[in-house]
Structure 1
Amino acid sequence: MTITCISPIDGSIYATRETLSRSEADAAVARAKVAQVAWAARPLAERIKLVQAGVAAVGAMNDDIVPEIAHQMGRPVRYGGEFGGFNERASYMAEIAQDALADVEIEDSDAFRRVIKRVPHSVVLVVAPWNYPYMTAINTVAPALIAGNAVMLKHASQTPLVGERMAQAFHSVGIPEDAFQNVFLDHDSTSALIADRAFGFVNFTGSLGGGKAMEAAAAGTFTGMGLELGGKDPGYVMEDANVDAAVDTLIDGAMFNSGQCCCGIERIYVHESLFDAFVQKAVAIVNGYKLGNPLDPETTLGPMAHVRFANEVRGQITEAVADGATAHIDTFAEDDGGAYLTPQILTNVTHDMRVMREESFGPVVGIMPVKTDAEAIAFMNDSDFGLTASLWTQDTLRAEAIADQIETGTVFMNRADYLDPALCWTGCKDTGRGGGLSVIGYHNLTRPKSYHLKKA
């Protein structure tokens, strides 16, 4: 089978790769299992140093990586790629590794040694998405390797060059080729490998359907899983909020990367006293965007990664307007009816509309007025997803009290669309299960092993 990356810039074929046959995939797993034993036997400090060197080697490639990302998934080159977040996350996980993976000493007396150790799962499969292809991958790759696992990275077909770049960088600094492998696998082979217990842990970031397929493949195997399957993240602007800061951050959170962010803002609830001002400012911001070729440094909004993604967003907008929603942004001249899509702000929306209930994953946001915190909480929880929520107020106690009532993984106050590596990245409901980064990320990428040693 051939994996083909169609560039959203012009619809041309940018890259093709052949997938591994089942026998080739089995051989790759076998090599990874052998390499993992030797890799885990290395001192933790050495593994940390090598991963940090690999991360730096990726950074040295950034001038080539930035246009590659634009070609593969459409993000404008003006934003400079992902190395800042890539490095921040990996560096934090390296920094906390000694403490996070430390033995838990219960007793070491003349009679007994009792200790809990954290040991690697063996081989970790990382299935990474195209929207933030480097940052989402490193969330698991860095701590998994540091913890002593071997890693097999399967990247999205839209971004096939990313795994190759990471493998090239990591191998160049001395991480064994079999301990970190970039692999091209089709869906059937991936499912078959999971069903055959090829992996000790699987981390998947992607669609709800993909997550269900992963769980179905793993049924009865007891393979550990980390699943982040999307969101419909809300923002709530209270009457005491700094409305200018709220508009700037929430609209950027809705539109950056053409709205293709796992934790992007997809619906906004604004206290009725600020609603008109908020919408007016939001419309002005979006009308200032420049939609165009992502290789042009003047472009602020590139195409969506694929025409079918843009068509899904167009469909949600069209249905909402037909049902009474107001669209505030006139069609941009650069909107070609394909991957290049006009960003949109909708009002007069309701939760009966798909655009307020289903994941859009594109440059559209619905804005609704609310009267009370209780009303806003009810709307925020009226979703099958639960990844993040963004609260805007000057009152920290009020924000935390509201946060306690929101069904989500992360709650922000006066910011949005950011991943703090010191905090567990997690979700609930159809967003998935598990948690990445932070100390908890290490706990999920290892298993506890208890030693109860009676001394003679």
Structure 2
Amino acid sequence: MTMIRCVSPVDGEVYAERPAIPLEMARQAVAHARLAQKAWARRPLDERVKLVLAGVARLNEMVDEVVPELAWQMGRPVRYGGEFKGFNERSNYVASIAADALKPLVVEESDRFERRIAREPHGVVFVIAPWNYPYMTAINTVAPALMAGNTVILKHASQTILVGERMVRAFIEAGVPADVFQNLFLDHDTTAALIAAKSFDFINFTGSVEGGRSIERAAAGTFTGLGLELGGKDPGYVMEDADLDAAVDTLMDGATYNSGQCCCGIERIYVHESLYDAFVEKSVAWVSNYKLGNPLDPETTLGPMANKRFAATVRNQVADAISKGARALIDPKLFPQDDGGAYLAPQVLVDVDHSMEFMREETFGPAVGIMKVKSDAEAIELMNDSRYGLTASLWTKDAERAARIGRDLETGTVFMNRADYLDPALCWTGVKETGRGGSLSVLGFHNLTRPKSYHLKKVTA
């Protein structure tokens, strides 16, 4: 029997483990979800919405268990209180728009014809959630999928193995039927076999580019709809008219919060030459104030990375950049807790360029590179010089300028004077190797349903 284990970054020991279920048992679970789906979809929309929100509320009641569990599983400091703010914001917003997002598009309603386009649930939706924000990323799909009348199978990353179990428990305790929302512990082979057998009607995956490719290969020929949010190398651009202190505060937080393990975290920054020296100086001072340590200590502001192999990737990229001429500005003596394993000091690099992997490939850690630029054109070229495209953060007082630059950027979201945020009213989407599809907003509901046309000719005397 295959065991799925979470090795805690706190102490390097196994924190939790669960047996992966056999393929036949997984098939039975999916079959139960399929049998339950029609009855669930026939329930009134407002009833489904209320049950989902009740599940959200029940999870909130578990805060005292959830927060330390997250610290043990993936290292986020308890002082930040888990993910409830974003989790609740996203759930409440999609609930508020569900009726409008799912209502039919009426083309004609006359004494001769009724013509409309309805939104039908796909059926069984499979959500494969990541470890870095395991509750928020899951709810992006789980909440609207259930509200739209789908049943949901949830599979979480091994690093946060307890999250799916706890999330489903909360929803079931709140009244969601057990077959409607299920958590399964699956290994990779069983997952691939289920996908290849067309067990699901829609699959949403958040994770690595290679993980996305594996899912596409497994789904080849099944015509199963896919939503994929994959890698990122999100840039910031600080223009000469930017609010310098606000830019430093937001971009450095965006680069290092959650130990840099954010899909839309800032990994590279381009600063106009007139502000470059001041921006770098202030950024180094900002990052130097972190306290690296045990995430269960309320005084800790920067916890370990989720796994020592993730930290090794960051160290290797930084070392490679330094070997090619980059300079590291954060004094390692400020962070004696850096143990060469999961506990990793933050870092700011200058004298970087795009010949370095550090400025091209996803780092996913608390390290950022800063480059000097002379013009918008140079900044645009550098920001687009990436195989990823999730968000870009523009810093200026001129909204028209930001919009003009945004039109030339190859990215899913353009921010002005903010970063590292998911607005549930807007579609969360990416381009290039960041993925395909989109979640949240009205469009998120559309991705979790299919159009169905009704052309009804009325009998007339």
Q: What TM-score do the two structures reach when normalised by structure 2? A: 0.98
Q: Name the CA distance, whole Å, in 1 between partners of 2:170 and 2:17.
A: 21
Tell me how far 1:108 sits from its aligned partner.
Answer: 2.1
Question: 2:255 is paired with a residue of what secondary structure?
Answer: helix
- Tell me the residue number matched to 2:360: 357
CA shift digits 1:300-359 (9 cap, x unpaired): 000000000000000000000011000001222000000000100000001010100000
Q: Name the CA distance, whole Å, in 2 between partners of 1:63 and 1:38.
A: 35
Alignment map for 1:29-428 (pairs within 5 Å): 29-331=30-332, 332-428=335-431
Letter in 2 for 1:54: G
Question: 1:158 is paired with a residue of what secondary structure?
Answer: helix
Tell me whether 1:455 sits opposite 2:431 in the alignment.
no
The number of residue pairs the alignment matches comes to 456
Question: 1:159 is paired with a residue of what secondary structure?
Answer: helix
Q: Name the CA distance, whole Å, in 1 between partners of 2:192 and 2:450.
A: 23
Q: Name the CA distance, whole Å, in 1 between partners of 2:457 and 2:397.
A: 57
Alignment map for 1:2-21 (pairs within 5 Å): 2-21=3-22
Tell me how far 1:115 sits from its aligned partner.
Answer: 1.2
Q: Name the CA distance, whole Å, in 2 between partners of 1:40 and 1:345.
A: 51
Question: 1:222 is paired with a residue of what secondary structure?
Answer: coil
Tell me how far 1:111 sits from its aligned partner.
Answer: 1.8
Q: Name the CA distance, whole Å, in 1 between partners of 2:312 and 2:227.
A: 29
State the identity as a percent: 70
Q: Name the CA distance, whole Å, in 2 between partners of 1:395 and 1:239.
A: 11
Tell me how far 1:110 sits from its aligned partner.
Answer: 2.2
Tell me how far 1:455 sits from its aligned partner.
Answer: 1.7
CA shift digits 1:193-243 (9 cap, x unpaired): 111111110000000000000111111111111100020000000000011
Q: Name the CA distance, whole Å, in 2 between partners of 1:196 and 1:213.
A: 15
Q: Name the CA distance, whole Å, in 1 between partners of 2:244 and 2:441.
A: 32
Question: 2:159 is paired with a residue of what secondary structure?
Answer: coil
Letter in 2 for 1:262: C
RMSD: 0.6
Letter in 1 for 2:426: L
Question: 2:88 is paired with a residue of what secondary structure?
Answer: helix
Q: Name the CA distance, whole Å, in 1 between partners of 2:161 and 2:400.
A: 45
Tell me how far 1:106 sits from its aligned partner.
Answer: 1.4
Q: Name the CA distance, whole Å, in 1 between partners of 2:14 and 2:21.
A: 20
Tell me how far 1:292 sits from its aligned partner.
Answer: 0.2
Q: Name the CA distance, whole Å, in 2 between partners of 1:252 and 1:222.
A: 41
Q: Name the CA distance, whole Å, in 1 between partners of 2:87 and 2:430.
A: 21
Tell me how far 1:184 sits from its aligned partner.
Answer: 0.8
Q: Name the CA distance, whole Å, in 2 between partners of 1:392 and 1:95.
A: 31
Q: Name the CA distance, whole Å, in 1 between partners of 2:230 and 2:166.
A: 25
Letter in 1 for 2:8: S
Question: 1:116 is paired with a residue of what secondary structure?
Answer: strand
Greater alpha carbon shift after TM alignment, 104-113 vs 206-215: 104-113
Alignment map for 1:435-450 (pairs within 5 Å): 435-450=438-453
Letter in 1 for 2:172: H
Q: Name the CA distance, whole Å, in 2 between partners of 1:272 and 1:180.
A: 53
CA shift digits 1:42-96 (9 cap, x unpaired): 0001000000110001111111100000000000000011011000001000000
Question: 2:401 is paired with a residue of what secondary structure?
Answer: helix
CA shift digits 1:390-415 (9 cap, x unpaired): 00000000000000000000000000
Q: Name the CA distance, whole Å, in 2 between partners of 1:89 and 1:184.
A: 25
Letter in 1 for 2:415: F
Q: Name the CA distance, whole Å, in 2 between partners of 1:278 and 1:263.
A: 21
- Extract unaligned runs of 5+ from structure 2: none
Q: Name the CA distance, whole Å, in 1 between partners of 2:455 and 2:53.
A: 35
Q: Name the CA distance, whole Å, in 1 between partners of 2:189 and 2:439.
A: 26
- Extract unaligned runs of 5+ from structure 1: none
Question: 1:204 is paired with a residue of what secondary structure?
Answer: strand
Letter in 1 for 2:401: R
Tell me how far 1:371 sits from its aligned partner.
Answer: 0.1
Letter in 2 for 1:327: A
Q: Name the CA distance, whole Å, in 2 between partners of 1:108 and 1:386.
A: 43
Letter in 2 for 1:196: A
Question: 1:339 is paired with a residue of what secondary structure?
Answer: coil
Q: Name the CA distance, whole Å, in 1 between partners of 2:189 and 2:110.
A: 53
CA shift digits 1:100-151 (9 cap, x unpaired): 0001111222222211110000000000000001000000000000000000
Q: Name the CA distance, whole Å, in 1 between partners of 2:201 and 2:55.
A: 23
Q: Name the CA distance, whole Å, in 2 between partners of 1:196 and 1:187.
A: 14
Tell me how far 1:187 sits from its aligned partner.
Answer: 1.0
The list of structure 1 runs, each at least 4 consecutive aligned residues, that deviate by more than 3 angstroms after superposition, is none
